[in-house]
Amino acid sequence: MTTPLTFAVALPQTFPSRQPDPKLIRDYVLRAEALGFDSLWVVENVLGSIPSLAPVELLTYAAAVSTRIKVGTAVLLTALGSPVHLAKSLATLDHLSGGRLVVGVGLGGNPKIYPAFGITAERRAARFAEGVQVMKALWTQPRVTFAGDFWKLENASMEPKPLQKPHPPLWFGAHHPNALRRTVALGDGFMGAGSISTAAFTEEVGVLRGLLSEAGRDPAAFPIGKRVYLALDDDRGRAAKRLTEWFGAFYGRPEMAEQVSVWGSAQQCLDGLAAVVAGGARLLVLNPVFDEMQQLERLASEVVPKLRG
């Protein structure tokens, strides 16, 4: 069985030169739903100079103004906080969305931020894995007794359980082979980062599929997605300039834009996205970072139908 190719979009979440715009977000959600996109996705970026809305709260707003479209995180940096609090928030969002939540989790790539959250980066992978286990237990067991290295629960209960059973799908963002092994052991899907190239994503998918086979899981039935930063503009130079400015503001690395993005005419974007699909993606999370409404309309009319075909 091969997972069908589906299309999602990233929510407007960063506002580098303006105040956050709830009306834009609402209009974007409603239009993406009307256009038939599968889901809406957000990232987590707590610290940084670029204005960036918090992921769970933003998805709760999106869920409240929509009826069908799924909502997902790609990814939550779960090792930075309490899995108990996060399990409660996500179970609540699953109910408020009517069971439309997909939970993407990951370690993130910047261990230097851990002290800002009152913890060290030491053993962060173990902390991450244990936190996922705590959330799963709270979501599925009437009473939880858990004696871990980082968290301890004694006959604890959390209600309500998530609407989805046994819990919302858990998708992992990962790069290192050990992280890919955790994806196979604990995850329900894999999300390739927007900050890596198509070539790097293709390599990760190859390793992941090998690990799935070793574990007796069918690689063809394991959902794989990829966030793709893109700019659809017939003026390729202008698109590149605007992407470079955004990457400089968000990641502090303007050169990343050329390394990981898809940009240019509809055909150039189509070619770039087709390469991501060939690399193993069955869910494309299309992520414009400026002129979001205009990009949404053009992607829906000029790119997605050809990729579906």
CA–CA separation, 288 vs 140, rounded Å?
A: 37
Structure token digits, residue 140? 């599925």
**What confidence category does residue 1 fall into, taking pLDDT thresholds of 50, 70 and 90?**
low
Structure token digits, residue 179? 């992280």
For 201-215, the pLDDT digits (tens) are: 999 999 999 999 999
CA–CA separation, 156 vs 226, rounded Å?
A: 36
For 47-75, the pLDDT digits (tens) are: 999 999 999 999 999 999 999 999 999 99
pLDDT at position 164 over 70: yes
CA–CA separation, 102 vs 8, rounded Å?
A: 12
The model carries a pTM of 0.97
Q: Distances in Å between the alpha carbon of 145 and those of 133, 170, 234, 254, 298? A: 12, 22, 58, 47, 52
Are the C-beta atoms of residues 170 and 190 closer than 8 Å to each other?
A: no
CA–CA separation, 33 vs 248, rounded Å?
A: 31
Q: Is 174 exposed, middle or buried (0-12, 13-18, 19+ CB in 10 A)?
A: buried
Q: How many residues does the chain have?
A: 309
User: Which of the following CATH numbers is that of domain 6-308: 3.20.20.150, 3.20.10.10, 3.40.630.30, 3.20.20.30?
Assistant: 3.20.20.30
pLDDT at position 2 over 80: no
**What confidence category does residue 218 fall into, taking pLDDT thresholds of 50, 70 and 90?**
very high
Residue with tokens 């580098």, as numbered in its chain: 16
CA–CA separation, 18 vs 270, rounded Å?
A: 30
Which three-class secondary structure state does DSSP give residue 57? Answer: helix
Which three-class secondary structure state does DSSP give residue 153? Answer: strand
